């Protein structure tokens, strides 16, 4: 394993300090982070070793392990010394992508970042097709008369499976009479995975472009499907001295039902278990609203899965992992599928495009294609209103 001497040592330590991760100095190598990290369910991942190396300014340039962290947030909540482990991982990654160039050993991440940089989405799709998901629906472009901006972001705009989530969202909003609009080709990737994979310059560019578009369009309130957009807009975009109201769809649906703006007319006679997405639950404390929506549906029996709320098992897609290859037998979502089936549920519900993507894939990998359905909560609600 190659490490760089002297000057880079200082660079690493300074970089981590600048990223707000200076508490890494207090790590006393207890190893608690490793015992709670989901990677250690599927392979060895010595989290504390990397924290210790960072402490001495050492970057394992040749190791791919530093790209493994899914930034799930589980280890920081158990660390007795308050070490900001995610910030340490992110800072080290920043040093590994100088000038935004991802190492050639990560070809899928490299092409994803190139595509986002050139056309604003991870697949290099035509930005003019970004709104195609809405072509048969009543969805208008945001203008000065619009109350709420719906920001589906990349997966629900382009991916055939996840378009069903943006379409369900639009159908529900229309049923509830919400005055909403979208930005279509003017919308850019939120940049969440860009920042988590160390490309700070590109993140800042995306954030500034999105913010400028919102200001120019008169946006005040933003509704999102993805907990990753939610986290980024709510907690990171304020770094640019802006303060938009940001709401996740699970919170908004709960509000609409409670205010009587959305009437549930049908039963959903199924057993359902709910998977807490890391960036909705652990990172932002939204646990009750998605469950609240499901509990309002007559006939639906909600069963808790093991590893729930703050101990939810990460699907494995955060921290930019969604754009990197993961060995089939090392996917956390495989374990999640088994846990869901063990509850006796017929449906595994969640509230995150990345989770839906990972769980759908793992259902096939684990040969459970016919044993359980994966649904975003919007897809369930759409069926009963």
Binding site for ligand SF4 (CB under 6 A): 27-33, 36-39, 47-48, 51, 69-75, 79-81, 83, 85-86
* Least CB distance to ligand SF4 at residue 75 (A): 3
Between 42 and 264, CB nearer to ligand SF4: 42
Place of tokens 């035509």: 126
What's the token pair of residue 314? Answer: 């990460």
Q: How many CB atoms lie within 10 A of CB 15?
A: 22
* Least CB distance to ligand SF4 at residue 68 (A): 7
Is the separation of the CB atoms in 219 and 144 below 8 Å?
A: no
- Altogether, the residues listed in the chain come to a count of 385
Between 74 and 363, CB nearer to ligand SF4: 74
Between 75 and 374, CB nearer to ligand SF4: 75
CA–CA–CA angle 76, 110, 34 (5° rounding): 20
Between 109 and 293, CB nearer to ligand SF4: 109
Between 80 and 298, CB nearer to ligand SF4: 80
What's the token pair of residue 61? Answer: 């340039």
Is the separation of the CB atoms in 312 and 282 below 8 Å?
A: yes
Between 92 and 381, CB nearer to ligand SF4: 92
The dihedral over CA atoms of 242, 243, 245, 250, expressed in degrees to the nearest 10, equals: 90
DSSP annotation of 330: G
* Least CB distance to ligand SF4 at residue 87 (A): 10
What's the token pair of residue 100? Answer: 């935004």
Between 86 and 206, CB nearer to ligand SF4: 86
* Least CB distance to ligand SF4 at residue 35 (A): 9
Q: Is 218 left (phi over 0), alpha (psi -120 to 50) or beta?
A: left
* Least CB distance to ligand SF4 at residue 99 (A): 25
* Least CB distance to ligand SF4 at residue 277 (A): 13
Helix (H, G, I), strand (E, B) or coil at 82: coil
Please name the residues in contact with 168: beta carbons below 8 A apart, sequence gap of 6 or more.
376, 378, 379, 381, 382
Distance CA 243, CA 237 (A): 8
Is the separation of the CB atoms in 249 and 224 below 8 Å?
A: yes
* Least CB distance to ligand SF4 at residue 276 (A): 14
Between 188 and 317, CB nearer to ligand SF4: 317
Distance CA 152, CA 194 (A): 17
What's the token pair of residue 198? Answer: 């160390």
- Element of type H or E holding 364: helix 353-365
* Least CB distance to ligand SF4 at residue 69 (A): 3
Between 58 and 176, CB nearer to ligand SF4: 58
The CA-atom distances, in angstroms, between 19 and each of 37, 49, 93, 149, 195 are: 22, 20, 12, 31, 11
* Least CB distance to ligand SF4 at residue 64 (A): 14
């Amino acid at each position: 394993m190659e490490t760089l001497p002297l000057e880079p040592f200082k660079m690493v330590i300074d970089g981590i300090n600048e990223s707000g991760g200076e508490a890494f100095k207090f790590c006393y190598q207890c190893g608690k982070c490793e015992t709670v990290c989901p990677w250690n369910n599927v392979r060895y991942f010595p989290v504390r070793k990397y924290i210790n190396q960072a402490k001495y300014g050492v970057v394992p340039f040749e190791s791919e392990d530093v790209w493994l962290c899914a930034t799930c947030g589980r280890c920081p909540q158990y660390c007795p010394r308050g070490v900001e482990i995610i910030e340490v991982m992110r800072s080290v990654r920043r040093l590994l992508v100088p000038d935004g160039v991802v190492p050639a050993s990560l070809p899928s991440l490299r092409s994803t970042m190139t595509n986002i940089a050139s056309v604003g989405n991870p697949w290099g799709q035509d930005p003019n097709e970004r709104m195609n998901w809405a072509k048969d629906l009543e969805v208008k472009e945001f203008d000065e008369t619009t109350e709420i901006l719906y920001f589906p972001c990349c997966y629900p705009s382009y991916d055939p499976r996840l378009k069903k989530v943006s379409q369900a969202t639009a159908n529900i909003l229309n049923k509830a009479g919400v005055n909403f609009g979208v930005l279509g080709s003017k919308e850019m990737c939120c940049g969440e995975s860009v920042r988590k994979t160390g490309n700070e310059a590109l993140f800042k560019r995306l954030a500034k472009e999105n913010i400028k578009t919102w200001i120019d369009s008169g946006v005040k309130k933003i509704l999102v499907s993805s907990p990753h957009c939610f986290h980024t807009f709510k907690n990171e975009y304020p770094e640019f001295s802006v303060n938009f109201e940001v709401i996740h769809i699970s919170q908004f649906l709960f509000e609409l039902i409670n205010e009587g703006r959305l009437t549930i007319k049908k039963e959903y006679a199924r057993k359902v278990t709910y998977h807490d997405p890391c960036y909705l639950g652990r990172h932002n404390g939204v646990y009750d609203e998605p469950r609240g929506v499901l509990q309002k549906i007559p006939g639906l029996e909600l069963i808790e899965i093991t590893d729930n709320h703050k101990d939810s098992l990460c699907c494995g897609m955060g921290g930019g992992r969604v754009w990197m290859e993961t060995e089939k037998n090392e996917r956390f979502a495989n374990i999640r599928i088994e846990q869901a089936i063990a509850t006796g549920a017929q449906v595994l519900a969640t509230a995150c495009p990345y989770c839906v993507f990972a769980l759908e894939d793992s259902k096939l990998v684990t040969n459970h294609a016919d044993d359980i359905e994966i649904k975003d909560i919007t897809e369930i609600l759409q069926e009963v209103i």
